[in-house]
Amino acid sequence: MIGLSVLVLVGGAVWYFFRTSKALAVLMFHKIDPERQDSLTVSVRQLEQQLAWLQTHRYQIVTLRDVMTAIDQNRPLPPRSVLLTFDDGYVNNLTYALPVLQRFGRQAVVFVPTAFVGQCNQWDGCTEPLMNPEQLRQLLPTFELALHSHQHLNYKNRSADEIRTDLQQNLNAFDALNLPYVRAFAYPYGGRPNDPAIKQAMQQAMTEAGIRVAFRIGNRLNRFPIQNRYELQRLDIRGTDSLARFVRKVRWGKLF
Ligand SMILES: [Zn+2]
């Protein structure tokens, strides 16, 4: 009887290991600071330790283009694939994240709310400067640039028309910046419409606009085959997390 329980436990662990090893972990960062650590701010030292851990444990940092190609071709990414994403386009990403990524030879994505380029995070008290077009250009080619709504809107409580308009403004503003960008979207606050009809209209608008993937939060790993390309999940990486907690998130995501 004990033998059987052990077998079930070991079998479950092996099954879970293979399931998660074929999964894509998408990490969500916001601000990077030389000293500060809070829920939206990871310190330079923490970022270095996290990248070193990923490197030591043979995680492969993939690009947004890799992810989109894998989904288009319905083909899993290599085991232990990780996508690094940064929301909002803070100047501190250029100042502090770029040099660390260059040192490690890794790539990442910045999701840009285009109405606020060169301004500040007005949705959050204007506490931090956001990159201007020239600063966004300096991120290339280490960073890919992508969409984060024009007005940094929470789509959760918006009408289909409001969402469609905001999406179109996001694309038009990016076109006007004359910077290369990828047609991938990160929902501000992870918010998507509650109403299934509006959600469907939003996804339809994304398809028509040529947007190929969109990221919510959700805090789980993404397993192939991907069920819905507009519902990819990201892991919220916080400066208040220990390295052990970071590792748990990357390996398992949220279990329940
Ligand atoms: Zn944001």
Written as one string, the DSSP assignment of 214-226 is EEEEET-PEESSP
- For residue 19, report the distance from its CA to the centre of ligand 1, in Å: 30
Which residues are CB-neighbours of 143 under 8 A, at least 6 positions away? 86, 93, 98, 101, 107, 108, 109, 110
pLDDT of residue 154: 98
pLDDT of residue 75: 92
CB 53 within 8 A of CB 102: no
Interval 116-158: pLDDT, tens: 999 999 999 999 999 999 999 999 999 999 999 999 999 999 9
Q: Return the number of other C-beta atoms located less than 10 Å from residue 197's C-beta.
A: 9
pLDDT of residue 16: 55
- For residue 255, report the distance from its CA to the centre of ligand 1, in Å: 25
Q: Is 213 exposed, middle or buried (0-12, 13-18, 19+ CB in 10 A)?
A: buried
Which residues are CB-neighbours of 255 under 8 A, at least 6 positions away? none
pLDDT of residue 42: 98
- For residue 213, report the distance from its CA to the centre of ligand 1, in Å: 17
> How many angstroms separate the CA atoms of 224 and 57, rounded?
21
3-state secondary structure (DSSP) of residue 151: coil
pTM (predicted TM-score): 0.93
- For residue 44, report the distance from its CA to the centre of ligand 1, in Å: 20
- Single-letter amino acid code for the residue at 212: R
pLDDT of residue 177: 97
- For residue 170, report the distance from its CA to the centre of ligand 1, in Å: 14
Q: Return the number of other C-beta atoms located less than 10 Å from residue 135's C-beta.
A: 18
pLDDT of residue 3: 73
Could you give the maximum distance between any two Cα atoms of the chain, in Å? 68
- For residue 4, report the distance from its CA to the centre of ligand 1, in Å: 49
Fold exhibited by the domain 24-252: TIM Barrel (3.20.20)
The residue to which tokens 């990160």 are assigned: 186
Q: Is 187 exposed, middle or buried (0-12, 13-18, 19+ CB in 10 A)?
A: buried
pLDDT of residue 15: 55
- For residue 152, report the distance from its CA to the centre of ligand 1, in Å: 6
**Strands 23-29, 222-223: parallel, antiparallel or unpaired by DSSP?**
antiparallel
> How many angstroms separate the CA atoms of 254 and 250, rounded?
9
- For residue 48, report the distance from its CA to the centre of ligand 1, in Å: 23
Domain ranges of the chain: 24-252
- For residue 160, report the distance from its CA to the centre of ligand 1, in Å: 20
Q: Which residues of the chain have pLDDT under 50?
A: none
Compute φ and ψ for 22, nearest 5 degrees. -95, 10
Q: Return the number of other C-beta atoms located less than 10 Å from residue 61's C-beta.
A: 20
